[in-house]
């Protein structure tokens, strides 16, 4: 992704003024990883707004969706998926060496003027607290992994606060008709964050000043 962005910039006919990024779900995490790449640091002074929609910035430590938890466990056993191990912070024996923790230490967002975190409590795929980068209450009583969770939150938020970055959190509620499979496994809201055109239009039109 970092190389694609650099290539796109090199082919622009107009002078580069500002760069903003919007990522949905895993895309928000991939964007953060790309932003930490040395090839993009040359444009850091141009970074303006970063928006994520339903991106689990803190992984799935305290997911409350038993369907997703069960599915992740099964797929990790069946396919040994690297991404699933990374999101569940099980890709290294030392949790402080996992991909998600190391990414939380990367200064990839500190040069943005605005950080917009869009999340829905109806979304069972990206835990609400994780998509909003907030402390989960369970971590305060979790003697085993609570300190890891708290440190990740601190790693992400403290540099932004020190830099005076504008952090805005959006709580989105959808009217989901019927349940069906997507409703049962709480995937509907996760998909609608990207595919609901009325929502996307309203979100961008009412917040266009963050991208101007």
Query: In whole angstroms, what is the distance from residue 29 CA to residue 104 CA?
Result: 10
The encoded tokens of residue 14 equal 């107009």
> Is residue 118 a contact partner of residue 173, using CB atoms and an 8 Å limit?
no
pLDDT of residue 145: 85
For 120: left if phi > 0, alpha if psi spans -120 to 50, otherwise beta; the answer is beta
Cα angle: 65, vertex 68, 74; to 5 degrees: 140
The three-class DSSP label of residue 149 is: helix
CB atoms within 10 A of CB 171: 11
pLDDT of residue 70: 47
pLDDT of residue 85: 76
pLDDT of residue 65: 58
Burial of 13 (0-12, 13-18, 19+ CB in 10 A): exposed
> Is residue 76 a contact partner of residue 152, using CB atoms and an 8 Å limit?
no
Q: Give per-10-residue mean pLDDT for the chain (212 aa).
A: 88 86 95 91 93 95 61 48 77 92 93 97 91 93 90 97 96 79 67 94 95 90
pLDDT of residue 68: 53
pLDDT of residue 78: 46
* CA atoms within 13 Å, Cβ hemisphere of 85: 16
pLDDT of residue 178: 60
Angle between helices 197-206 and 188-195 (to 10 degrees): 60
* CA atoms within 13 Å, Cβ hemisphere of 55: 23
């Amino acid at each position: 992704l970092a190389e694609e962005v650099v290539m796109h910039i090199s082919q622009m006919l107009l002078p580069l003024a500002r760069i903003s990024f919007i990522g949905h779900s895993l895309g928000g995490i991939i964007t953060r990883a790309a932003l930490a790449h040395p090839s993009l640091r040359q444009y850091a002074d141009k970074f303006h707004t970063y928006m994520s929609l339903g991106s689990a910035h803190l992984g799935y430590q305290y997911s409350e969706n038993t369907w997703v938890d069960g599915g992740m466990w099964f797929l990790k056993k069946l396919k040994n998926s690297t991404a699933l191990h990374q999101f569940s912070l099980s890709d290294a024996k030392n949790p402080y060496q996992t991909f998600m923790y190391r990414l939380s230490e990367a200064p990839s967002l500190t040069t943005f003027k605005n950080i917009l975190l869009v999340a829905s409590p109806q979304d069972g795929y990206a835990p609400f607290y994780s998509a909003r980068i907030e402390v989960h209450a369970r971590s305060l009583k979790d003697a085993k992994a609570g300190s890891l969770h708290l440190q990740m939150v601190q790693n992400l938020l403290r540099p932004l606060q020190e830099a005076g970055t504008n952090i805005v959190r959006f709580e989105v509620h959808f009217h989901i008709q019927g349940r069906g499979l997507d409703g049962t496994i709480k995937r509907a809201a996760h998909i609608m964050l990207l595919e609901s055109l009325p929502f996307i239009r309203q979100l961008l039109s009412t917040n266009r000043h963050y991208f101007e």
